[in-house]
Amino acid sequence: MYTGRIARFDAPGTPFQIDTVTLPEVGPGEILIRVTRTNICGSDLHAWHGTFATRGLGGQLPTVLGHEMVGSVEALGDGVSADSNGAPLQQGTRVVFPYFFACHTCRNCLAGRRNACLNLKMAMLGRADEPPYFVGGYGDFFLLPAGAVVYTVPDSVSDAIAAGANCALSQVMYGLDRVQQGLGETVVVQGAGALGLYAIAVAKARGAAQVIAVDGIPDRLELATAFGADAVIDINEVGTPKDRTKAVRKLTGGHGADVVVEVVGHPSAIDEGLQMLGQFGRYVEIGNINIGKTFEFDPSRFVFSNKTMVGVSLYDPAVLAQALTFLAQHQHSLPLDRLAAAQYRLEDINDAFAAAEDKRDVRASILP
């Protein structure tokens, strides 16, 4: 039996409640993770507000939010002895894992689209008032189901740096790969939160000749430069979409960007981003997860300039191994430790969400 705490989420707009629960056993193929750090991601905030309805994905309430996490092996179910790369697992091994779980047998999985698994299960969707209880990252433990992908964290990579790998970093790596961003291209990143900062760094690592960041928070614009942005556009100084589009055109010699990445999370950014693209530009849409929101745009500009929009949800689980390699290689050249520098205890989770809501922190972290 394994007893620990969870931050129970009953309904949008209500405070988290700390409960102590007991998992009777770890079943065959399962892995019980002792959570060491879970970040507050934008989707957690949306769920907290009710604008991202987990019920729409088959989720139930009450639940446990939190998914961008890192932890160590607490217990291995029968038949589990190694991670997805074949490295041995034992109690205490530090690991990260995708927070969504594919069946590996449906038509989408077999076609290499495991992030679109027809039987997809996910953290934050299980019930917090019945076993296994530990169904999200805001708790002492998290139970990985049988067949989950899991990777050992390199000894050189701290928990603080590794925590962002299984959501923000892997997501933007997958998105830039989907549009085949390559050497010599210009990339615009709309939004310099955690995903945006990772996108800047990854785009540069993929050989972008120029990366332009767009945001309105001074600290984030400063961080964008530290993460590799060649130019920043402050929406407080360049106040209209038309002016910001002109600024991008000027910075790109009149051509526009090859790739634009949207990680603002508001539909008003989309038409602006599409206008920033040049001929054959590719738009990576990641941030808008709130159902029912719309925007208007002129489709003729889309057609005549041969633009492409790619929606990106989740990522192929194998990308997470690449994310760990990226962190190990770049941790000394990028200020990765500044992404989730704000730390809160589990019992202070309501304060942490309030701080994240006010954007006082790029990423707040919950440490049980």
The fraction of the chain above a pLDDT of 90, given in percent, is: 83
CATH at residue 189:
3.40.50.720
Mark whether 110 and 46 lie in a shared domain. yes
The fraction of the chain above a pLDDT of 70, given in percent, is: 98
In a domain, 320, yes or no: no
Q: How confident is the model at residue 53 (pLDDT cuts 50, 70, 90)?
A: low
In a domain, 325, yes or no: no
| Contact partners, residue 67, CB within 8 Å, separation at least 6 | 38, 41, 43, 44, 99, 122, 123, 124, 136, 137, 166, 167
pLDDT of residue 46 exceeding 90: no
| Contact partners, residue 272, CB within 8 Å, separation at least 6 | 190, 241, 244, 245
Lowest-confidence segment of 18-27, 312-321, 338-347 by average pLDDT: 338-347
Lowest-confidence segment of 46-50, 72-76, 351-355 by average pLDDT: 46-50
Phi, psi of 233 (to 5 degrees): -120, 115
Q: What is the mean pLDDT of residues 290-299?
A: 84
In a domain, 323, yes or no: no
In a domain, 137, yes or no: yes
3-state class percentages of the chain: helix first, strand second, coil last, to nearest 5: 30, 25, 45
In a domain, 333, yes or no: no
Provide the residue range defining the domain that includes 145: 2-164+340-367
Mark whether 158 and 301 lie in a shared domain. no
Lowest-confidence segment of 23-37, 43-57, 180-194, 318-332 by average pLDDT: 43-57
Report residue 313 as tokens: 């949800």
| Count of other CB atoms within 10 angstroms of residue 281 | 26
Helices and strands: H and E segment counts in the chain: 11, 17
Q: How confident is the model at residue 301 (pLDDT cuts 50, 70, 90)?
A: confident
Q: How confident is the model at residue 306 (pLDDT cuts 50, 70, 90)?
A: very high
330 versus 358: which is more confidently predicted?
Answer: 330
Mark whether 179 and 251 lie in a shared domain. yes
DSSP string, 184-226: T-EEEEE--SHHHHHHHHHHHHTT-SEEEEEES-HHHHHHHHH
The one-letter amino acid at 129: D
CA torsion angle for 38, 43, 44, 46 (degrees, to 10)? 160
Last residue of a domain, one of 311, 326, 359: 311
Mark whether 97 and 7 lie in a shared domain. yes
Mark whether 136 and 81 lie in a shared domain. yes
Mark whether 118 and 147 lie in a shared domain. yes
Q: How confident is the model at residue 58 (pLDDT cuts 50, 70, 90)?
A: low
pLDDT of residue 55 exceeding 70: no
pLDDT of residue 362 exceeding 80: no
Q: How confident is the model at residue 196 (pLDDT cuts 50, 70, 90)?
A: very high
Q: How confident is the model at residue 360 (pLDDT cuts 50, 70, 90)?
A: low
**pLDDT (tens digit per residue) in 7-43:** 999 999 899 999 999 999 999 999 999 999 999 998 8
| Cα–Cα distance, 163 to 315 (Å, whole number) | 16
In a domain, 72, yes or no: yes
Q: Residues 171-201, buried b or exposed e (16+ Cβ, 10 A)?
A: bbbbbbbebebeeebbbbbbbbbbbbbbbbb
**Which residue, 137, 147, 127, 156, is CA-closest to 31?**
147
Mark whether 155 and 214 lie in a shared domain. no
Phi, psi of 89 (to 5 degrees): -110, 145
Q: How confident is the model at residue 57 (pLDDT cuts 50, 70, 90)?
A: low
356 versus 340: which is more confidently predicted?
Answer: 356
Mark whether 221 and 127 lie in a shared domain. no
Mark whether 252 and 132 lie in a shared domain. no
Task: Domain count for the chain, please give it.
Answer: 2
| Contact partners, residue 252, CB within 8 Å, separation at least 6 | 186, 210, 278
pTM of the model: 0.94
Q: Write down the pLDDT at residue 163.
A: 95
Q: Write down the pLDDT at residue 295.
A: 86
CATH at residue 114:
3.90.180.10
In a domain, 326, yes or no: no
Mark whether 44 and 26 lie in a shared domain. yes
Last residue of a domain, one of 311, 331, 356: 311
DSSP 11: S
Mark whether 80 and 150 lie in a shared domain. yes
In a domain, 328, yes or no: no
**Which residue, 25, 69, 48, is CA-closest to 170?**
69
Mark whether 107 and 217 lie in a shared domain. no
